[in-house]
Amino acid sequence: MRRKSKHYTLEFKQKAVELSYAKGNVKQVCEDLDIFPSVLYRWRKELKDYGKNSFPGRGNPKMTDEEKEIARLKKALKDAEMERDILKKAISIFSSSDKRNTGL
């Protein structure tokens, strides 16, 4: 039988992490809160690595400000490359039609 996964609020996760650092005993905190130690360790790592960007919810990637800027710049580069390619194709189409119209 498959165990149903629980969903915890942002506040619960933050309080659990704070409590684990305050008590210093992860196992006891996990027993008190009825969560697995691996879950609490993951929350601690996320909070340490991402700070206020931790626990964004489903489908939202955890990105630092630098990572967000890199993603934005990559998208802008991709858009510019696509625009360039379209213009190159348009130039070749128009230049070949000009040759046909002038009889060359």
Alpha carbons within 13 angstroms on the beta-carbon side of residue 24 total: 0
Q: Is the pTM of this model over 0.75?
A: no
Q: How far apart are CA 91 and CA 96, in angstroms?
A: 8
Task: Residue 13: name the closest of 55, 76, 48 by CA.
Answer: 55
Q: In whole numbers, what is the pLDDT of the chain averaged over residues? A: 85
| Interval 1-26 mean pLDDT | 84
